[in-house]
């Protein structure tokens, strides 16, 4: 009887889950609310904090009422809330196997903050990236991996545009992670990008993804018409940061 009543009162959604059955007509009851039915990615930042991506590149932090160490070892995590909306109100929980951890607060964050927190969570879990080091002998980046939370795969790039902040990159729907657009911030000025109709991306770590790791660069690859004697050959633009952004209109 208790389980039946609980199922009637709450909608529960595993972390993460596909957006294939998301209802676009759902309207959040408050601006900070997270739709647990549209979760695409989640990370545990610490024993009482989760960072979550959902829907069309919307990002949230979920703060628990206290530490919930069961999250780290849980084989399955779920968000439990009335109608699937997690807003930081009463009777909202993260369930880790058999333990329910009450939700204390939910807040919206931007894509850059989400990417930084997700990356820090991966590093804490052992997927660390390193500062620039000198390597003697063959090196193909073993031990490094990328996540669509803060990386994109160049083979899925559909289009790009340069602006004063760097690049906006559109990726194919086949790209994992559910994010359609990424911001690529540069580590310095690179005016050549505005003059080049084509670019390539190169990862020094040879992981097939651009994440803002040391050695990740954007390469202007073609000379615009009229640039007869000032070619762009050999120029590379250092990538400083990568993070998902919402749909660009």
- The pLDDT of residue 52 is above 90: yes
- The pLDDT of residue 202 is above 80: yes
Q: What is the mean predicted confidence (pLDDT) over 48-57?
A: 88
Which sign, positive or negative, has the C-alpha torsion 168, 172, 177, 178?
positive
* Strand runs labelled E in 70-198: 77-81, 85-86, 93-96, 99-109, 157-163, 166-171, 181-186
- Asked if residue 150 lies in contact with residue 118, where contact means CB atoms within 8 angstroms, the answer is yes
pLDDT tens readout for residues 128-170 = 433 333 333 333 333 446 889 999 999 999 999 988 889 999 9
Domain ranges (residues) in the chain: 2-109, 154-245
Question: Quick one: tokens of 90?
Answer: 């009463």
Q: Cα 75 to chain center, whole Å?
A: 22
pLDDT tens readout for residues 64-94 = 998 887 777 777 778 899 889 999 999 999 9
Give the chain's length. Answer: 249
């Amino acid at each position: 009887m208790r389980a039946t009543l609980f199922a009637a009162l709450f909608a529960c959604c595993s972390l993460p889950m596909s957006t294939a059955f998301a209802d676009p007509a759902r309207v959040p009851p408050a601006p900070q609310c997270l739709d647990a039915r549209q979760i695409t990615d989640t990370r545990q930042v610490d024993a009482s904090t989760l960072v979550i991506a959902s829907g069309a590149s919307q990002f949230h932090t979920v703060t628990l009422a206290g530490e919930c160490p069961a999250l780290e070892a849980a084989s399955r995590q779920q968000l439990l809330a009335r109608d699937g909306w997690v807003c930081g109100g009463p009777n909202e929980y993260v369930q880790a196997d058999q333990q329910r951890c009450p939700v204390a607060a939910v807040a919206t964050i931007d894509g850059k903050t989400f990417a930084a927190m997700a990356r820090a969570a991966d590093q804490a879990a052992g997927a660390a990236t390193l500062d620039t080091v000198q390597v003697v002998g063959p090196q193909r980046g073993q031990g490094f991996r990328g996540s669509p939370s803060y990386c994109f795969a160049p083979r899925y790039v559909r289009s790009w545009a340069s602006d004063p902040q760097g690049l906006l990159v559109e990726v194919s729907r086949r790209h994992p992670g559910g994010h359609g657009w990424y911001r690529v911030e540069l580590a310095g000025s690179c005016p050549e990008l505005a003059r080049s109709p084509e670019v390539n991306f190169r990862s020094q770590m040879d992981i097939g993804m651009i994440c803002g790791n040391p050695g990740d660069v954007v390469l202007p690859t073609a000379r615009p018409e009229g640039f007869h004697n000032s070619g762009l050959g050999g120029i590379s633009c250092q990538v400083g940061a990568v993070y998902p952004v919402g749909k660009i209109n």
